[in-house]
């Protein structure tokens, strides 16, 4: 552990930007799969059911590759991570990706080949895939926040912020890629993005409270993060305030700008990376020594 400023604040060095990318891509991948399944199932929106699922699978695959080849010191040993689902949350994370990816695969397959035996099981595979996809950002955020060793992260607000951001990006990206479908759907998408960002703002304020009322290492990490351009512009302005204002404008004027959903998706994507990366970068270890 590197010593920074004083012995009291030792920055964690285990998690760096590749993990932030993994959390972001995996979270959005899971959200994309869940959303695509719901839109296909409830609204019979076939292009989303097909290509939306494929996009989610692609994001999961990318997340897995980033984790294995950029984060793990021993990529080939990744296979052992399936070894410990009884106790390790990380193993659950891997299993969730596998379930969501596999379920989506069998859900999408009938779009391309007719397999009568699969038809009856399609809802089952889609459901499994959607649930596992939904759980991914929750569990992965929970894994970061569970240990007591980094007080800034030690809060259930982390998985909540990751989940909302992942869904915010996906709910904006679907109408941007596939078109809003109808006026009423455009309104629903817009309302969902607005609400997600409102809840994100609330979640962030609660996180601020957690950091300020928490141990000195949490306060220190938060203050260091607060001063950074990436955090101020990347997360607060681009990732939070801009989507809140733009979705609010579109919602209250009924003027769904042609570029609006694309801009919302991109802004929340940038904000999502900035949030995850800044949080990881400013995790300071708890101080265990008696002096």
3-class secondary structure, 10? strand
Query: By C-beta, is 13 or 119 nearer to other proteins?
Result: 13
CB of 10 to other proteins, least distance (A): 6
Burial 72-110 (b: 16+ CB within 10 A, else e): eeeeeeeeebeeeeeeeeebbbbebbebbbebbebbbeb
CB of 67 to other proteins, least distance (A): 8
- Cβ(259)–Cβ(48) under 8 Å? no
Distance CA 127, CA 118 (A): 14
Query: By C-beta, is 147 or 254 nearer to other proteins?
Result: 147
Query: By C-beta, is 7 or 123 nearer to other proteins?
Result: 7
- Chain position carrying tokens 């959903």: 261
CB of 85 to other proteins, least distance (A): 9
Query: By C-beta, is 83 or 182 nearer to other proteins?
Result: 83
Pull the structure tokens for residue 85: 């689902």
CB of 235 to other proteins, least distance (A): 21
CB of 284 to other proteins, least distance (A): 11
Who contacts 94 (Cβ-Cβ below 8 Å, separation ≥6)? 78, 81, 82
- Cβ(283)–Cβ(11) under 8 Å? yes
Who contacts 117 (Cβ-Cβ below 8 Å, separation ≥6)? none
Question: What is the DSSP-derived secondary structure letter of residue 233?
Answer: I
Q: 2: part of which helix (H) or strand (E)?
A: strand 2-3
- Under the rule (CB under 8 A), what is the footprint of other proteins? 1, 7, 10, 12-15, 71-74, 77-78, 80-81, 83-84, 87-91, 94, 143, 146-150, 283, 285-286, 288-291
Q: List, in sequence order, the alpha helices (H) in 179-259.
A: 183-213, 216-226, 229, 242-253
Query: By C-beta, is 74 or 184 nearer to other proteins?
Result: 74
Query: By C-beta, is 108 or 217 nearer to other proteins?
Result: 217
CB of 30 to other proteins, least distance (A): 18
């Amino acid at each position: 552990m590197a010593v920074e400023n004083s012995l009291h604040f030792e920055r964690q060095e285990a998690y760096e930007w590749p993990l932030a990318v993994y959390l972001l891509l995996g979270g959005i991948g899971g959200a994309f799969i869940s959303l695509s399944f719901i839109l296909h199932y409830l609204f019979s929106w076939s292009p989303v059911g097909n290509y939306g699922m494929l996009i989610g699978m692609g994001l999961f695959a990318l997340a897995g590759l980033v984790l294995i080849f950029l984060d793990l010191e021993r990529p080939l040993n990744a296979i052992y991570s399936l070894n410990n689902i009884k106790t390790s949350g990380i193993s659950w994370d891997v299993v969730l990706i596998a379930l969501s990816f596999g379920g989506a695969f069998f859900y999408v397959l009938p779009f391309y080949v007719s397999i009568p035996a699969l038809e009856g099981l399609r809802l089952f595979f889609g459901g499994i895939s959607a649930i596992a996809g939904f759980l991914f950002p929750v569990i992965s955020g929970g894994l970061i926040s569970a240990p007591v060793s980094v007080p800034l992260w030690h809060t259930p607000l982390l998985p909540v912020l990751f989940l909302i951001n992942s869904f915010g990006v996906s709910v904006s990206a679907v109408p941007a890629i596939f078109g809003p479908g109808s006026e009423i759907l455009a309104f629903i998408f817009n309302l969902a993005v607005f609400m997600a960002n409102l809840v994100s703002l609330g979640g962030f304020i609660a996180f601020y409270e957690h950091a300020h009322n928490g141990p000195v290492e949490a306060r220190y990490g938060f203050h260091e993060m607060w001063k950074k351009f990436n955090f101020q512009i990347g997360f607060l302005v681009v990732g939070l305030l801009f989507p809140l204002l733009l979705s609010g404008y579109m919602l209250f004027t009924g003027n769904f700008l042609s570029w609006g959903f694309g801009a919302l998706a991109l802004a929340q994507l940038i904000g999502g990376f900035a949030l995850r990366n800044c949080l990881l970068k400013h995790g300071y270890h708890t101080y265990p020594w008696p002096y």
